[in-house]
């Protein structure tokens, strides 16, 4: 395995063609994660988990009910190999490498161009944790710690922060003042005030 550090980034997959080979318990979560990001997902597998087959019937994704063929990689942005056969997965990886396509062979770090991190999601607020494939268990433990530190209300707060930021730009606020205000908006004190006001509003709504 390479000792070079990973390059951390968040990819925009909306509208991009992505391939997943394998649709059982290993491939299913990978398929759903790509669909959730708006990717155009093509699944190739003789059999599929019920949720995957149902998504295909709704037109949420495309499912070719057969074995993998090299032509499945035509025009693909990235591919996930999630079959139960190491031989098939490695053949997919080699073909993807030849074509310059990003590939992830699930649970096989040496045959991955990218990894699925442990992720904390609070709406548009996301924290991704990676161990470069060395210890997914550690990544999961850290994820749980962050989930406690950053409750779901952070997603709501981020939406409000986005509105405030947009308003400052629309109003033509002087750059230095805008920068100062934007940093004031995200202090722990500002969050505590937002959280308190949110609880009060929710309480009123329930009355």
CA 86 to chain centre: 25
Going from N- to C-terminal start, the domains of the chain cover 17-116, 153-206
Whether the Cβ atoms of residue 70 and residue 95 lie closer than 8 Å to each other: yes
pTM (2 d.p.)? 0.82
pLDDT of residue 1: 54
The angle, 0 to 180 degrees and rounded to 10, between the axes of the packed helices 50-58 and 28-36 is: 30
Instruction: Confirm or reject CATH 3.40.50.720 for domain 17-116, answering yes or no.
Output: yes
Tens of pLDDT along the chain (207 residues) come to: 566 888 999 999 999 999 999 999 999 999 999 999 999 999 999 999 999 999 999 999 999 999 999 999 999 999 999 999 999 999 999 999 999 999 999 999 999 999 989 999 999 999 999 988 888 899 999 999 999 999 999 999 999 999 999 999 999 889 999 999 999 999 999 999 999 998 888 765 433
């Amino acid at each position: 395995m390479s000792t070079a550090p990973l390059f951390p980034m968040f990819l925009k997959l909306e509208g991009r063609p992505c391939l997943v080979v394998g649709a059982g318990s290993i491939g299913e979560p990978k398929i759903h994660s790509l669909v959730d990001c708006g990717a155009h997902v093509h699944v190739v597998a003789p059999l599929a988990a019920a949720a995957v087959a149902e998504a295909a019937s709704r037109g949420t994704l495309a499912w070719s009910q057969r074995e993998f063929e090299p032509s499945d990689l035509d025009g693909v942005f990235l591919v996930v190999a999630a079959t139960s056969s190491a031989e098939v997965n490695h053949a997919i990886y080699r073909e993807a490498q030849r074509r310059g396509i990003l590939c992830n062979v699930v649970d096989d770090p040496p045959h991955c161009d990218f990894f699925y991190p442990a992720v904390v999601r609070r709406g548009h607020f996301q924290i991704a944790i990676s161990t470069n494939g060395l210890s997914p268990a550690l990544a999961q433990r850290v994820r749980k710690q962050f989930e406690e530190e950053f409750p779901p209300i952070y997603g709501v707060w981020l939406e409000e922060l986005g509105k405030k930021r947009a308003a400052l730009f629309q109003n033509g606020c002087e750059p230095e003042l805008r920068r100062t205000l934007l940093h004031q908006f995200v202090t722990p004190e500002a969050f505590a005030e937002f959280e308190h006001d949110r609880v009060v509003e929710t309480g009123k709504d329930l009355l």
